[in-house]
Structure 1
């Protein structure tokens, strides 16, 4: 298949807003790819590179050669050349990458150049997010969408799942299973304004667990080998020796556990998130960092115990397996109740202890990896949302010369775009102002009007607010009241940002 086929499909997908039309365009193309092209095509159309990063920045993409008039470049040729770009290392590697990128762009038509430029700049926002692509794969392979989602839960990378579906249908999809050492995307929680609201939504007895303000971890053990991953599936094994030792000391040597690491003060109260995050991020002098800032781990779910996969079992069954495999001091405290009064009292005690809030969980739902499952609902003492920064305005007064006022957007799963909900400059410390000015200039999408800098939507920020109200000022018809910055969330991808539907459910 030629790259021009993908470029044309991408343009068709971006031009329409109807989900079914997007799915149809993508499915038509996927129905024509060969087995060795499937992963490449799905990755490119999802806005990803199979190589993830190739070491080419903005400067390396400037001054492309004149485009060709006829399209001849195949997907395999393009991807092989990108492999060569990534393989460059050592002195002179940047110059070598530039030569290869020039060679690549010189073999492309103008439409292909535009497509590849946007792909390499992570700007291919055409609405082909995972949800749309999952449906397109299912349609092209003539398999149920649920089978694609299940396989994605276990494999974690959609291009590989899609290639399997296209080549072998349901049989290939059902061959995927939970593998120790290969992380799965974590299950996420929806939001509610109160424990009573969360319990009312779930109905019946529920589990109410501490919500720790730490770093989400997934621990895998096979024999004596232990690996630890973050919620973004990054391997942090070397940075958390306490967790490795704790898992290695457990009686079971075949495990996958979901939990949180957190730094606690001597009195048991939590350190600020930045302390925990900084410790987990530190790759230098881990022994010294451990002595200064020891970490504790608390597990709240078990995905595999003693070789048995538990993902599709009810929450209470998974928790029973967890407490059988893990000592009580490593299990996240929780209360099981159907009494709202007891639930709210538990919530208040957790908050009084300095923790972030609670997660109210159904006892019956399976583990919805990579999605905001209906069975988990987080409740905090204040309204907070994880939103994406779409643009930033230059400050004035004491903030002159710094990027200050943030334009905030929620994710629209239907279109794949972000819907603006308002602006805020509140809650920003001098340190954050300096950091975000540097970071957003790196993410700037081009010339500005001298006041507003439009940025690539790559950073998630946690925003506190007093409510959501109707507003004709913004495209979504609603706006946040008294929004203020809590912190940036580098541990979260934009795919994990809160949705327009979540925000609308909080409207006054």
Structure 2
């Protein structure tokens, strides 16, 4: 298929607010793709090429853009092959080779195609063809049940491969997609509530568990082979040998565990989150140890537990993990839930997560079965742009433009980010230096005072609340926003929603 056909469909999807029209356009495109083109095309549409980030920034992309071609000749396969080449070219002279390969492809691209290639490589696709819409389109194109396609995508963690299987495989093959020990799955997500008592009112009887101030991990063991993954499904086994040894000692052969890891000080209290993340992100093991705690189990010795109630999974986890279970208590009493929350805070943790005792494990979904409670208003937002500072901060990117996720498209395209405020408070000199360098690497455009960036960076923001505002499209603005920390462990899709923030008005 010509890349021009993909670009035309992306433009059509971006030009309509109708979810049905988006699904129809995408389904028509998917039916016309060759089998080898399906996974790459899906990756391009959602701004997540199958090769991942290939090290091309705004400057490199701009330098590669020359006079566009008059007629479309590039194919989907041409762009996919370029990304393969960019991802594998390394060593002496590789920068020149990569630049030459990029210039050669863009010279064959029309003006529309050049823009599409740029957005795809910089992670700035704004077509509205988000994963939920595209998942429905895959089901439509393949004439498969939507819930079966969604489950396969969640359990494989690969929408492109799910599309290929749905469109070219049998119904039985799609139905058979399940947990595979060693292949990470999308983690279950939690909603938010202001207090543990409010959360219990929603869930009923629940396990009220400490919310650790650490980094989420998913651990797979098959015999003596143990693999550790981040919440973004990156394999970091080589970084965490201490976690590998803990899981190897467990009384089980095959297992998939969900949990967190963090570093402790000499008194057994959690170290600052930044210290945990510094160790977590190191490419080699360091002196500081990371201790794992687990709060769920998805598979044990050939038995999938996703659809079992939490109470069943907790019994298995107690048998397997023992002292490495996250502390908590089962209750339907709001006062008990509040006590556990206070105990967690006294222990130096973030708060609690309240989990309905009868709930299954909903991979990749955020619902009301899990509800996180923090003592202050902190939300995970996405950086949309950054302004150059003045005075002491002159020469540094300082004031952050913050966006909340709009999954339903209530204030724009489904899956876009709605600006809710700005802040420069809480930024240390170290963070200012880092973000000045980093945001220019993911820059998509700029004016004299502002650098707009790909919406891929999650930052935890503390606020005193929200207020009504006509300045921003979501109708609210943050009150006294300040930066707590950058969340390298979270995807932009995991950001808090505009609907969650607007609910504070009613609170």
Q: TM-score of the superposition, structure 2-length normalised?
A: 0.95
Task: Return closer, same or farther for 1:63/1:493 CA change in 2, 3 Å cut-off.
Answer: same
Aligned partner (choices 300, 303, 306) of residue 295 of structure 2? 300
CA contact 2:466–2:504 (8 Å) conserved in 1: yes
| Structure 1 position 439, deviation (Å) | 1.9
Give 1:73 deviation, angstroms: 2.4
Q: Distance in 1 between matches of 2:238 and 2:169?
A: 38
Between stretches 231-240 and 66-75, larger displacement belongs to 66-75
Counterpart in 1 of 2:484?
486
- Residue 401 and residue 84 in structure 1: after superposition, are their counterparts in 2 closer, same or farther (change >3 A)? closer
Q: Which residue of 1 aligns with 2:74?
A: 73
Matching of residue 322 in structure 1 with residue 317 in structure 2: yes
Q: Deviations over 1:11-63 (max 9, x none)?
A: 11112223222222111211221222211211111112122133433344324
Report SS of the residue matched to 2:162: helix
State the Cα distance separating 1:501 from its structure 2 match. Answer: 1.7
Structure 1 residue aligned with 2:460: 462
Aligned length: 500
**Distance of 2:277 and 2:364 partners within structure 1:** 22
- Measure, in 2, the Cα distance between the counterparts of 1:405 and 1:372: 30
Query: Residues 55 and 407 (structure 1 numbering): CA distance in 2 closer, same or farther, change over 3 Å?
Result: closer
Aligned residue for 2:501, secondary structure, equals helix
Give the C-alpha shift of residue 475 in structure 1.
0.6
Counterpart contact for 2:59–2:441, Cα < 8 Å = no
Check whether the contact 2:307–2:360 (CA below 8 A) recurs between aligned residues. Answer: yes
C-alpha contact 2:425 2:481 (8 A) present in aligned 1: yes
1:403–1:436 CA contact under 8 A, matched in 2: yes
Q: Distance in 2 between matches of 1:58 and 1:437?
A: 14
- 1:431 equivalenced with 2:430 (yes/no): yes
Equivalents in 2 of 1:44, 1:52: separation in Å? Answer: 11
**8 Å contact kept, 1:305–1:325:** no
Give how far 1:194 is off: 0.7
Q: 1:73 to 1:454 in 2, by over 3 A?
A: closer
CA contact (8 A) 2:58 2:443 kept: no
The question of whether the paired residues in 2 share the 8 Å contact of 1:56 and 1:97 is answered with no
Deviates most, 251-260 or 387-396: 387-396
Q: Deviations over 1:337-367 (max 9, x none)?
A: 1111111111111111111000000111211
> Counterparts in 2 of 1:127-166, with a 5 A limit?
127-166=128-167
Aligned residue in 1 for 2:503 = 505
Q: SS in structure 2 opposite 1:44?
A: helix
The match for 1:28 is: 28
Could you tell me which runs of 5 or more consecutive residues in structure 2 were left unpaired when the two chains were aligned.
none
Aligned to 1:411: 405
Task: Find the counterpart in structure 2 of residue 124 from structure 1.
Answer: 125
Structure 1 residues 72, 441: CA separation in 2 closer, same or farther (over 3 Å shift)? closer
Deviations 1:209-260 (CA, angstroms, capped at 9, x unpaired): 0000011111111111111111111111121111111110111010110111
The CA distance in 1 between the partners of 2:81 and 2:393, in whole Å, is: 47
1:472 deviates by 1.2
From the superposition, tell whether residues 496 and 323 of structure 1 become closer, same or farther in structure 2 (CA, over 3 Å): same
Please, which of 366, 388, 402 is the counterpart of residue 396 of structure 2? Answer: 402
Q: How does 1:79-478 map onto structure 2 within 5 Å?
A: 79-168=80-169, 170-203=171-204, 205-284=205-284, 286=285, 289-290=286-287, 293-327=288-322, 329-413=323-407, 414=409, 415=413, 416-448=415-447, 450-478=448-476
Displacement of 1:171 in angstroms is 2.1
1:14 and 2:32 aligned: no
For the structure 1 residues 380 and 147, does the alpha-carbon distance in structure 2 shift closer, same or farther, using more than 3 Å as the test? same
State the distance in 1 between where 2:34 and 2:434 align: 45
DSSP 3-state at the match of 1:217: strand
How far does the alpha carbon of each residue in 1:429-450 deviate from its partner, in whole angstroms, 9 at most, with x for none?
22222222222232332331x3
Give the TM-score taking structure 1 as reference length: 0.95
SS in 1 for 2:246: helix
Indicate the SS of the match to 1:31: helix
TM-fit CA distance, 1:111: 1.9
1-structure distance, mates of 2:127, 2:83: 22
Which segment drifts farther, 76-85 or 250-259?
76-85
Q: Are residues 93 and 12 of structure 1, via their aligned partners in 2, closer, same or farther at CA, if it must alter by over 3 Å?
A: same
Does the CA contact (< 8 Å) of 2:43 and 2:50 recur in 1?
yes
Alpha carbons of 1:111 and 1:244: their partners in 2 closer, same or farther (altered >3 Å)? same
Structure 1, unaligned stretches of length 5 or more? none
* Range 273-282 or range 53-62, more displaced: 53-62
**Counterpart secondary structure, 1:70:** coil
> How many Å separate the matches in 2 of 1:330 and 1:381?
25
Q: Which moved more, 1:167-176 or 1:1-10?
A: 167-176
- The alignment partner of 2:291 has SS state of strand
- Separation (CA, whole Å) in 1 of partners of 2:468 and 2:145: 38
Q: Distance in 1 between matches of 2:261 and 2:141?
A: 41
Give the Å deviation of 1:65: 4.0
Please say which of residues 419-428 and 63-72 is displaced more in the overlay.
63-72
Give the whole-Å Cα distance in 1 for the aligned partners of 2:182 and 2:157. 12
Q: Distance in 2 between matches of 1:473 and 1:109?
A: 37
Query: Structure 1 residues 469 and 338 mapped into 2: Cα distance closer, same or farther (>3 Å)?
Result: same
